[in-house]
Structure 1
């Protein structure tokens, strides 16, 4: 090989895996953030499923236990936990629909993926805000 070709090859950047210390410098695309949030919301719903089922069973056991749970549900911390579960459900549902559409090979290009991920975030957050307004008694 000639000297010019060897020097050109030496100048090419070497890409390595990202180290933990470099994570603050790395900017993930919106589609990656939506995908990670989809996994987090799915895990959150799965991990809290036994608690939710127990509370459902307790609420239909008797009128006294329903009143007790109703009193617990009026606490601000409980409302925030409920709101987190609601966001998890809405986000997981919207992102799941996005992934199903992408499984049909629709919207796989970069611009469509960016728009659909922004749409998922917008819809899930808007629905969560509506539930929050209802939950905290604004309307």
Structure 2
């Protein structure tokens, strides 16, 4: 009887290791995790740029002269890029937040729906940001 137990084939157990920093380029994250990480980054970006936006708003509302000055200030390309980044940050954070609220209602929790909704969040936020960029840089 003991020989029968010894002769049973052993299954090779999978070996799970922690991912090292050098292996990060080989690791492929799911789309839902990318959207989640971008949601956090966009929230931090909006928080950090809030003083800049409030400063522009406060100074532009002082008088007509200060409004004209800051209207000229916003025409600089670097400032336009910052405004575009803030616009993407707001749009992505809002759309991903709506996705999370829908998921809190237990809608779209399965793998296929989560992939579709995360792809939809990325597509909508990038398309709306591209439209804002076209308007901001004077294409139409």
TM-score normalised by length of structure 2:
0.93
2: CA distance, partners of 1:5 / 1:59: 80
| Deviation of 1:13 (Å) | 1.3
Equivalent residue, structure 2, for 1:76: 77
Structure 2 residue runs of 5 or longer lacking an equivalent are none
| Deviation of 1:89 (Å) | 0.3
* C-alpha distance 51-5 of structure 1, shift in aligned 2 (>3 A): farther
- Runs in 1 of length 4+ with deviation above 2 angstroms? 1-7
2: CA distance, partners of 1:3 / 1:128: 65
* C-alpha distance 112-54 of structure 1, shift in aligned 2 (>3 A): same
Equivalent residue, structure 2, for 1:15: 16
Alignment of 1:1-139 (within 5 A): 2-3=5-6, 7-8=10-11, 11-139=12-140
1: CA distance, partners of 2:132 / 2:72: 19
Structure 1 residues 24-79: Cα deviation after superposition (integer angstroms, max 9, x where no partner): 11000100000000000000001111121111101101112111111111111111
2: CA distance, partners of 1:108 / 1:5: 41
| Deviation of 1:16 (Å) | 2.2
1: CA distance, partners of 2:8 / 2:70: 74
Q: CA RMSD in A?
A: 1.4
2: CA distance, partners of 1:6 / 1:36: 44
Q: Which has the larger radius of gyration?
A: 2
Find the residue that maps to 1:125 and give its secondary structure: helix
Tell me the number of residue pairs that the alignment of Structure 1 and Structure 2 aligns.
137
